[in-house]
Structure 1
Amino acid sequence: METRVDIEKLTDSKSNGSNVELRVLYINVSKFSPQVQFCICCGGVFSLYLIYGYLQELIFTLEGFKPYGWYLTLVQFGYYSIFGYTEQLICGKTVRRIPLQTYALLALLTLGTMGFSNSSLSYLNYPTQVIFKCCKLIPVMVGSILIQNKRYKLLDFAAALLMCVGLSLFTLADSRISPNFSLVGVVMISFALLCDAVIGNVQEKYMKAHGATNREVVLYSYAIGFLYLFVIMFVTGDLWDGIAYCIKMPQAYGYALLFSLSGYLGIQVVLTLVSTCGALAAVTVTTCRKAVSILISFTFFSKPFTVQ
């Protein structure tokens, strides 16, 4: 894949160049060997996103919470905006480089990705949602072909086909044994993946064109997305329903804080992994993490299980 090659070239140039500091969550790991750095990043991805996945499913096990997936997204966007702004202040870089109209589009796509993903848990159990997310490569490939005119090898398409087959088998089993399986949930998570297909390519295109940092993109995407969702929920009245529920169940805010913090930190570690080891290694690690998330889900939250 072209993206993979570009990142690996960048990694090689950094490793052969001057003394460039490598930081994982503000911790300097430059003194370690590349193998140790890779293991540190893997440990960060697994630890943070396993916590993220556990808390996400835990929130939806709260009595009566399932109708409030979009309110959880609003709270999550609010936390991400606060984290991003704080990080910008700490780093002392507050100048925006990408035009606001581009961020308006990115925010809408980000809202669709996370909102539909969170809301799908009202209709699907967590393992099914994770399996769908594992197929993120497929719409991203299509999006990169249409948006950035990229080319892929036959092996890439074969891998995508195998993922589709695995998804079909898993959802077929889940629809037969799980009371939480619903076509509405499948449609929601499919829309989330379609938004993912566009957002990654738009981010890559404009970040390269304007030289924007990851911090800037995260901050403006989530802050504008928060405003979008706040206005929509205010008009529909869903905002007050979510607030009323969380007043009765205040632990939901605590879970959402930890959920958002682990997700925000996880994003930073994944970006470090991509820049140091390449996209292929990053995708392999995150996919393995999702597989472990499914195992943990079956361990901590009882649900039907079959050989299929």
Structure 2
Amino acid sequence: MDLNNPWKNISISIPSRDTMSLHIKPKEDIWVLGINLSRFNKPAQFFICVAGVFIFYLIYGYLQELIFSVEGFKPFGWYLTLVQFGFYSLFGLIELQLIQDRKRRIPAKTYMLIAFLTVGTMGLSNTSLGYLNYPTQVIFKCCKLIPVMIGGVLIQGKKYDITDVSAAIFMSLGLIWFTLADSKVVPNFNVTGIILISMALCADAVIGNVQEKAMKLYNGSNSEMVLYSYSIGFVYILFGLLFTSGISSAVAFCSKHPVQTYGYAFFFSLTGYFGISFVLALIKLFGALVAVTVTTGRKAVTIILSFFFFAKPFTFQYIWSGLLVVFGIFLNVYSKNRNKMSLPSITRLWNSVIQRSIRTLPQSV
């Protein structure tokens, strides 16, 4: 060892970028429609995402019901999904070009799974409108929290307390009551629609957890997620329609009504793309369960607007069953924010009642 130069024999090795990425993930800006959400604090991020979800998805829901109100269009739900996926892929490609981020971080195998689930949830959901009243379809999608909780347990090993379980029970009761009311007042009620929307609900529950896990593990961007999942899903649907010979009749019908089909579908897809961008930002920033809670609240408003803009049968059972679902949503929100809310817990209320009973017991004797 050279005493005159003690640093001569000391070497410093710097781990490779791939090795560092396994342990330390650099913080990346989250962009949504040109807005850098990373520059805002958490409450502002949440407000922006919620506002985006409500504004764009309310327009999305109106246009979706408007398209299916065109006489003769109801059998072509899968073709509408194909057109929607095509527009989503185009919008995603344009956004990636604008932000100059062309790197794919999430593996292709994961995207193939996400695309399959996306096709299931959106394709089955669109197709179910050929059999269901629109508010019934929406109320089913409001209860996505139930399979999301199951998916969270199975996929991510999450645990839920009694409040979350109670929320799921109230949602289930409201869902059953709403469906029974719909079967009484809608002349063309079809169980096929219930099966389709239930399958879409299960796929929708899994996809939120898979997206959350993939985006956290690989630090993928929203634009990347939308582009690859919907472009691969477009290929899935295209081959499915070609195999079942269901594309020719759909193209012939839409060519006769280009404005009511392709025109509405463009704005329907545009607002849906903007909406899904804010939903993915919610998933990345706050988790899948928070995102589902926000989108569920949006669906409740969509139901009200649906009865306002489109004539359909109505019964007060819709209101009572909807209130059960809303109460379930409230329980879920309370469960996730109980530290910030001053409401007492159920156990505390019960203990308070017991203590008051004990205090008044000697007086009554």
TM-score range, shorter chain: 0.7 to 0.9
| Equivalent position to 1:261, from 270, 286, 293 | 270
- In structure 2, the CA distance between the partners of 1:92 and 1:29, relative to structure 1 (3 Å rule), is closer
* Inter-partner Cα distance in structure 2 for 1:100 and 1:31: 30
Which residues of 2 match residues 1-308 of structure 1 at below 5 A?
Answer: 24-27=32-35, 38-251=46-259, 252-273=261-282, 282-308=291-317
Moved more, 220-229 or 90-99: 90-99
Offset of residue 286 of structure 1: 2.3
Residue 111 of structure 2 aligns with an amino acid whose one-letter code is: Y
TM-score (norm 2): 0.74
- In structure 2, the CA distance between the partners of 1:116 and 1:277, relative to structure 1 (3 Å rule), is closer
Task: Please give the root-mean-square deviation of Cα atoms over the aligned residues, in Å.
Answer: 2.2
* Inter-partner Cα distance in structure 2 for 1:41 and 1:198: 22
- Post-superposition CA distance 1:61-93 (Å, at most 9, x none): 001000000000000000000011111111111
Moved more, 42-51 or 128-137: 42-51
- In structure 2, the CA distance between the partners of 1:36 and 1:210, relative to structure 1 (3 Å rule), is closer
* Inter-partner Cα distance in structure 2 for 1:283 and 1:295: 19
- In structure 2, the CA distance between the partners of 1:278 and 1:223, relative to structure 1 (3 Å rule), is closer
- In structure 2, the CA distance between the partners of 1:200 and 1:52, relative to structure 1 (3 Å rule), is same
* Inter-partner Cα distance in structure 2 for 1:228 and 1:210: 24
Q: Secondary structure at the match of 2:103?
A: coil
Residue 293 of structure 1 aligns with an amino acid whose one-letter code is: T
- Structure 2: tracts of 5 or more residues without a match: 1-26, 318-365
* Inter-partner Cα distance in structure 2 for 1:120 and 1:229: 16
Offset of residue 270 of structure 1: 2.9
Q: Percent identity?
A: 60
TM-score (norm 1): 0.87
Offset of residue 46 of structure 1: 1.8
* Inter-partner Cα distance in structure 2 for 1:182 and 1:293: 22
Residue 253 of structure 1 aligns with an amino acid whose one-letter code is: Y
- Post-superposition CA distance 1:174-196 (Å, at most 9, x none): 00001242110000001101111
* Inter-partner Cα distance in structure 1 for 2:166 and 2:41: 34
Moved more, 60-69 or 286-295: 286-295
Give yes or no for contact 2:85–2:233 (8 Å, CA) kept in 1. Answer: yes
Rg bigger for which structure?
A: 2
- Post-superposition CA distance 1:264-298 (Å, at most 9, x none): 10122233445566666544432222111111100
What count of residue pairs does the alignment treat as equivalent?
290
Match of 1:9? none
* Inter-partner Cα distance in structure 1 for 2:37 and 2:207: 30
Q: Secondary structure at the match of 1:238?
A: coil
Q: Secondary structure at the match of 1:244?
A: helix
